[in-house]
Structure 1
Amino acid sequence: MKPTDSEMEILQILWEKGESSVRSVHEELNKKDAGYTTTLKLMQIMLDKGMVSRDTSAKIHLYKALLSKEQTQHKFLEKIINTVYNGSTTRLVMQALGNKRASKEEIELIKEYLNNL
């Protein structure tokens, strides 16, 4: 299951803040001029899709992400590698490193990771 851009924004908030009410998520999204009913509707759709769960035991319903950040990042990355880079991780890495200057610490982490492969 691939979340839409709007659903990804909500998942990012839930991953960062943990279990949250619609109002709490909306306040974060409101920085981007999202309407409350839009936030509520999106979260209801995400509930129907199985992306989030909802605890209705209290007056304020709390939502929690059911998709893990790591799984979602993996799915998106896999799709990008296959569709944009014809399955070549080398092209992806070269493009990523060429587009944004990596810090010395990041380069060392990359080297360490490659050495461990």
Structure 2
Amino acid sequence: MVKKRDIQRPTEGELELLALLWERGSGTVRELYEAVNLKRDVVYTGVLKLLQIMADKGLVERDERERAHVYRAAVSQADTEVRFLRELSERFFSGSAAQLALRALEMEKSSDTELEAIRELIRKKEASRNN
């Protein structure tokens, strides 16, 4: 088993397959190939090779009990998002998550639901700071 710290950062193509696996739970090479092919042209062997590389990196797990191997994500979406955001924050915002959040809010309009979720997070952060 690959340790969490030893897992390499996924590439853009790997993230595309991980997103499908996070959404679906699992999938065969054929199912993943067909899903990616709806968005852009890919070759079956390219998806297969990428999944093999991802298995070697510890990003996916492969169930070989059936003829068609079934893949599932070995890393969680939340852990992957946190890792990327931490790297982004360190590289561009001197490690300031607040500056990263402010820049993100400036980029796009936010829905009322999103703004309320942000307010709730701020309230929780303030409450934990005051305790």
1:28 aligns with 2:35: yes
Letter in 2 for 1:14: L
Identical amino acids, percent of aligned pairs: 38
Structure 2 distance, partners of 1:68, 1:112, is: 24
User: Which residue in the other structure is 1:101 paired with?
Assistant: 109
1:2 is the counterpart of 2:9: yes
Match for 2:102: what amino acid?
M
Aligned partner of 2:124 in structure 1 is 116
Alpha-carbon displacement from aligned partner over 1:39-60 (angstroms, at most 9, x marks no partner): 0000010111111111111111
**Residue 11 of structure 1: aligned partner:** 18
The whole-number CA distance in structure 1 between the counterparts of 2:44 and 2:18 is 16
Deviation at 1:90, TM superposition (A): 2.2
Unaligned runs of 5+ in 1: none
Moved over 2 A (4+): none
2:90 matched to 1:82? yes
* 1:93 Cα offset (Å): 1.3
C-alpha distance in structure 1 between counterparts of 2:97 and 2:65, whole Å: 46
- CA distance in 2 between counterparts of 1:94 and 1:6 reads 28
Compute the RMSD of aligned alpha carbons.
Answer: 0.9
Structure 2 gap segments, 5+ residues each: 1-7, 126-131
The count of aligned residue pairs is 117
What TM-score, normalized by structure 2, do the two folds share? 0.86
Quote the Cα distance in structure 2 between the aligned partners of 1:99 and 1:56: 44
Separation of aligned partners in 2, 1:90 and 1:69? 21
TM-score, reference length from structure 1: 0.96
- Code of the residue aligned with 1:9 in structure 2: it is E
